Structure 1
């Protein structure tokens, strides 16, 4: 339905085909411009429904930017932790640097 009017000429229909559970289905499609999607509804009339169902177009949520953002954040945190670990390990191995031991402030190489 477009604005409540059936669009027979624009509708492409498929044949009745079986499902794996022994039931059957039929399909119908119509090409819709994104800016016109609020004008369209799908009417489903079936014996199992107490009354025909009228379904409006629902916009799809786009999770790709969210997933990409989380992935970039995780990679950034891992890179930062790896960089910190490398920096910390090299900090203790600087040539010519004398490390202090204990609270007395004595130098690492005693007796020189």
Structure 2
């Protein structure tokens, strides 16, 4: 990955420090609007841009307060829309002819943001285009008459992946639990998908994995360990011996 110039970090550090001051001020303003005098409160800003392979671009700019949607930029009209009544005073001012904040942000999202995105892609092209095949491990647990299936997919890159359990190679099984795609220390990713099923005598279960590093999707079949079969046989034998001993005791009493 190419390194950016030292001035990049200095410039962005200064921007972050200025934003911290602004955000502290914004929190105080919002606390007044919500009639709050104390407590822990959060003010969040999310913005960014996308550049697709066909050249189309998309941008967004959203604000949240205490986890709830506060206001957002409508990229069709390039005006701000309030999702809380306390945001109306802000959207009215930002949408006014004197301020036109939406148009200012439009210029940033469609130009400067895209320029930076292209630089980031070029600098990190080697890492972004790296393809690492996923490793897959399947396991199962019998509990209370049901079978809990686990599919652990790990060591893959890039991040996007499709993982699900299949019954008899055809039917999707409703997912019982799915973790988020999590990063590994080496830059690869991992995910676990679990399903709770009622096993049938002739049913087979497989974990379906589709990833850009694969020529074709994987279907890893879960097979019960042979020790489970042995355990069932031993249990039957022990029960049979116990019954025989009881019968013998009754006959020779």
The TM-score with structure 2 as length reference comes to 0.22
**Comparing both chains, which one has the higher relative contact order based on Cα–Cα distances under 8 Å and sequence gaps of 6 or more?**
1
The TM-score with structure 1 as length reference comes to 0.45
Structure that is richer in helix per residue: 2
